[in-house]
Amino acid sequence: MVCRRFVPGAAALALPPRVPPPFCLAPTTPSPDLEAPAAPPPAPVPLPLAFIRQSAGHGIFVASAMSSFRRLVHLVTSDCSIRNTYSLRSIDMSALFAAAAAGNRGGESHHHPPAEPSPLPPPDISFYPPFQNCHGQGSMEFMLLGGNHNKVVAADQTGRTVLYDPDQHAIRTMRSLNEPKTTRPVSVTIGDDLYVLETILPEPPDQDGCFECFEWDTAVGSDRDWHPRVLPTPPYEHEPEADDVKYPVLGIKSYTVVDGTKIWISKADTGTYAYDTAAGAWSKAGEWTLPFTGHAHYVPEHGLWFGLSGTRAHGCVLRAADLAAASPRRPPATRNLWRDLVPPAEWRVALVPHLVHLGAGKFCIARFFDTDPFYGQYTYAVFTGVEVVRCADADGGLRMVKYGSKLYMLLSSMGYKHEGSGSSLGRIKKVLRMG
């Protein structure tokens, strides 16, 4: 096997009303360490969640929490045949990595998806938002509250929120957001707090409330609850709506957490901005943009950030970057580790790809295709397991190990249609991972 090195110290990169029912996620147990299959599995412990979601008509977004390997990726789809109902299904990724225990590691070259689709597992639970009065169907956004909490926040179009705890199989009410977040908000967890940012800023003076934080109050005598707080508006200017083909997360090219306290936001053609959660202030990180699309994930095992790059038309590339070595004038160095799978010729990329960090250097790459150029009647979801490992040589470089893929044909009643071309996009609400 050819070892594509990503070498420490190399010039290219230095390593270092009625609240709508919430959705329900079943907690998972950790998988044994795949790098040491002979060792006994660790004792089961509560593990963080990871979460991908796609709004109807929009791209899939990812939010995740790191640490030990988690085996489940969750797919949320919308069934619009009756009302805007969403169903959550769990996809078990552990079988794709089981080849490691048998010594049968995957290759690094382009690969084809499975020839025959597997049946979708039955829904774990279904949920729906409240109606939106004169606007008809309501909407909900979902955010991972990771870190030490491992919970999911669901917010409707009015800003009301509920909290679901998959470890306890319990729900609770939460305070409402100061302002509803309806333009595909991105969210990250830092410490005990959840930060939520609109991807499209409203016109001034209505920008107040586009960036908020649910702060966890642990003071003596407090109610030990999350309290919403409005944060400073990002300094970048309002931008008109962009084409999803180029920007899978509308208005925001990429985002991630750096140094455990800073939120980096990249805007196309304007650069990268940093919000310091400790200082409560924005600054310009650089004129360059992050070398990813969507959510980039920090992997502590390698001291690097990993994410996807590319477009729906030209496929995706798994990249690694050392953001800690970047400066305002020097963009982060990157290395491509994996190129897109090769779909059948008659397949068309229906949605942008997305990366889910499963922990321990392992990822799920979610891809969506269809076969009907007009109606998108037959939509396929491909989930591919990959792992980034160190080369067994003195250089200590990195290489990408590809495991198997799972192929699912999504139901036509889910209403999948193409982006662009004037038709409404299909109904994948979210793909998410928890463990």
Query: What are the strands, taking DSSP E only, across 115-241?
Result: 125-127, 140-145, 151-156, 161-165, 170-173, 186-190, 193-197, 211-216, 226-230
Asked whether residue 289 carries a pLDDT value surpassing 50, the answer given is yes
Conformational region of residue 139, where left means phi above 0, alpha means psi within -120 to 50, and beta covers everything else: beta
In a domain, 246, yes or no: yes
Q: Which tokens sit at 333?
A: 């160095």
Nearest C-alpha neighbor of 293 from the set 386, 197, 186: 186
CATH (domain of 331): 2.130.10
DSSP state letter for 94: H
In a domain, 391, yes or no: yes
What pTM does this model have? Answer: 0.76
Q: Which tokens sit at 338?
A: 């994996």
In a domain, 88, yes or no: yes
In a domain, 28, yes or no: no
- Quick check: helix, strand or coil at residue 332? coil
pLDDT number for residue 107: 52
CA distance 388 to 320: 10
In a domain, 74, yes or no: yes
Residue 414 main-chain phi, psi, to 5 deg = -75, -5
CA distance 110 to 371: 21
Q: Are strands 293-299 and 254-258 parallel, antiparallel or unpaired?
A: parallel
Asked whether residue 109 carries a pLDDT value surpassing 60, the answer given is no
Q: What is the mean pLDDT of residues 271-290?
A: 96
User: Number of structural domains, the chain?
Assistant: 1
Highest mean pLDDT among 259-268, 331-340, 415-424: 259-268
pLDDT band at 404 (very low <50, low <70, confident <90, very high): confident
Decide which of 161 and 432 is more confident: 161
Amino acid of residue 150: N
pLDDT band at 412 (very low <50, low <70, confident <90, very high): low
pLDDT band at 305 (very low <50, low <70, confident <90, very high): very high
Decide which of 118 and 257 is more confident: 257
- Can you give the residue range of the structural domain that contains 218? 50-434
In a domain, 284, yes or no: yes
For the chain, give the mean pLDDT. Answer: 72
Decide which of 375 and 233 is more confident: 233
Residues forming beta bridges with residue 284, ordered by sequence position: 273
Buried/exposed code over 192-216 (b: 16+ C-beta within 10 A; e: otherwise):
bbbbbbbbbbeeeeeeebbbbbbbb
Q: Could you give the C-alpha distances from 420 to 79, 244, 246, 253, 349, in angstroms and in order?
A: 21, 8, 11, 18, 12
Decide which of 210 and 342 is more confident: 210
DSSP state letter for 95: H
- Out of 177-181, 292-296, 378-382, which region has the weakest mean confidence (pLDDT)? 378-382
Q: What is the mean pLDDT of residues 237-246?
A: 46
Question: Residue 12 in contact with residue 335, Cβ under 8 Å?
Answer: yes
Looking up tokens 């650089």 gives 286
CA distance 370 to 349: 7
Nearest C-alpha neighbor of 258 from the set 305, 196, 215: 305
CA distance 374 to 359: 38
CA distance 212 to 159: 12
- Quick check: helix, strand or coil at residue 44? coil
- Out of 16-20, 179-183, 318-322, which region has the weakest mean confidence (pLDDT)? 16-20
pLDDT number for residue 81: 63
CA distance 27 to 435: 6
In a domain, 36, yes or no: no
CA dihedral 45, 46, 47, 49 (to 10 degrees): 160
In a domain, 397, yes or no: yes
Asked whether residue 102 carries a pLDDT value surpassing 60, the answer given is no
pLDDT number for residue 258: 97
pLDDT number for residue 326: 94
DSSP state letter for 17: -
pLDDT number for residue 27: 33
The answer to whether the bond into 205 is cis (omega within 30° of 0) is: yes
Decide which of 373 and 140 is more confident: 140
